[in-house]
Structure 1
């Protein structure tokens, strides 16, 4: 690759990365796609040296390679984790060395735009930190309690209509099948000593007419109103019965979103808001590496072009 490449770090099946890579290919921007957790050190090979200008060397994947000193951007999508190839001590040691070796070099490339930086994404995935930042930026946040105390949980739920939602949307299975844990109402009488088994996030239910997914790419903000059937608390549980429409982002919300991203050092965020009956935007959460490809057609938002613009140019273009 003679021209500055874009590295795309993601798993084998990633439709969101697929559409971005197709657009970069159309623009003749060199792309090197790989999955660090699965490809290294088998299909992929690393050779990196430190110098006055930072890291140099090559990352080779199959028959393609990239000059580490001249990487244009790294699109950190959803790579596999560095997992041990075995249960023994040596396998665990190797996995950690790979993570800190390849992962460490990729996190310190000179002159590289990150979408977004892996460490920034990891820090922003903590919902308590998100809620604190959103409050600092002036966004409206529903009353929230994080607790492992059953009495505190019961007291909070008795003060207002309350929902429970997980602090992390990790893998979860029911009878061997993947399942999602959606936000759902919880009554005081449902809260018992099981609350003491781990931290729980409880939040006041916003009386809403619809939701908004706001996608921020660099400094560009795209918003879609999502209308679910009446009574649905978490629209993700009703994907087949949703209506979408693009809507403008109020100036004060846009400013707050950009400040939020700057607070975490992010270049991307997928924000969820609840719109109350008086059209107030209530901040719920931000996924620093959230999905967006389905909104391209559903709401008519030019998201692929926006992501490709940022990766190609290292900057966003004006709306």
Structure 2
């Protein structure tokens, strides 16, 4: 039997849906699971160590997998580990940490092509690291400060002008109605900041005088670039006001994107840029698990095929 592809993601992930569908159409065996399901027995896992390299298996409700047989791993968007509700707070914390560290360690030892390996993704997830590496590789990076001192933000603004706030990491936030909340990238007035800034770290960045945004998606050796026009600072605020145009990537930018992925040992990256009035591409970030399927639907770019090619040929 052909070696299977392992897809690690949450239940509600349309991007993984289309990848699994294409793998099925090509006759490639695929096992999809959410590692967090190991809590409360939703995912059966056993792994052995000591006498030889790791051996192990996992079983979902519909599939069984020999971890040594995996040809490729598509690491998308697994859920956060949540303790079973019947446990006390203390027992729940213990169970959650055991599951998190056990599953991550087991999965990280699975051989085969990873898109992207969870350790490499973790390293590349931190905004300060991204900013430092982007500058090192020659991207144009907006002046940025990460701080818990409001007076430092004001001094920074005095030098660099208008600022936007960006979260250092997305968090699971909900409103009073239980609906998910999103923190948008938006302009801030440093004069309105007060001592509460000291309660945690914040990222402030010089506002880019952009005419559009650009998403560059690199999948293996394939590069897909889409210009995104929107009236908002953060185009995600209202998709109904967004328009998409397929564009070419300047060679220096394309080469820098590939050097960036090589630097972190990645095969996939969703790069975001601002397009300045003079045509300069200004770095925002690289998301190692970024969404891309909606751009395929909007533009017809063959991104699913490129992703499945990468997984199938491992």
How does the TM-score come out when normalised to structure 1? 0.92
- Structure 1 gaps, min length 5: 315-319
Confirm whether residue 60 of structure 1 aligns to residue 62 of structure 2.
no
CA distance in 2, matches of 1:103, 1:127: 22
Cα shift at 1:53: 6.5
Q: Which residue of 2 aligns with 1:282?
A: 282
Q: Would the alpha carbon gap of residues 53 and 258 (structure 1) be closer, same or farther in structure 2, given more than 3 Å must change?
A: farther
- Structure 2 gaps, min length 5: none
Q: Which residue of 2 aligns with 1:155?
A: 155
Q: Which residue of 2 aligns with 1:94?
A: 95
**Which digits, 9 at most, give the CA deviation of each residue in 1:243-277, with x for residues without a partner?**
10111111111111111112222221111100000
CA distance in 2, matches of 1:179, 1:89: 28
Q: Would the alpha carbon gap of residues 220 and 92 (structure 1) be closer, same or farther in structure 2, given more than 3 Å must change?
A: same
The farther-off stretch of 167-176 and 150-159 is 167-176
Q: Which residue of 1 aligns with 2:251?
A: 251
CA distance in 2, matches of 1:89, 1:140: 47
How does the TM-score come out when normalised to structure 2? 0.93
Q: Would the alpha carbon gap of residues 258 and 84 (structure 1) be closer, same or farther in structure 2, given more than 3 Å must change?
A: same
**Which digits, 9 at most, give the CA deviation of each residue in 1:147-195, with x for residues without a partner?**
1111111111233121111111212233233221111112232222222
Contact 1:155 1:188 in 2 (8 A): no
Counterpart mapping for 1:130-279 below 5 A: 130-159=130-159, 160-176=161-177, 177-229=179-231, 232-279=232-279
CA distance in 2, matches of 1:97, 1:143: 40
Cα shift at 1:207: 0.9
CA distance in 2, matches of 1:67, 1:3: 12
Equivalent residue of 1:155, what SS?
A: helix
Counterpart mapping for 1:6-85 below 5 A: 6-39=5-38, 42-50=41-49, 54-85=53-84
Contact 1:125 1:287 in 2 (8 A): yes
Equivalent residue of 1:54, what SS?
A: coil
Cα shift at 1:88: 4.5
CA distance in 2, matches of 1:4, 1:50: 22
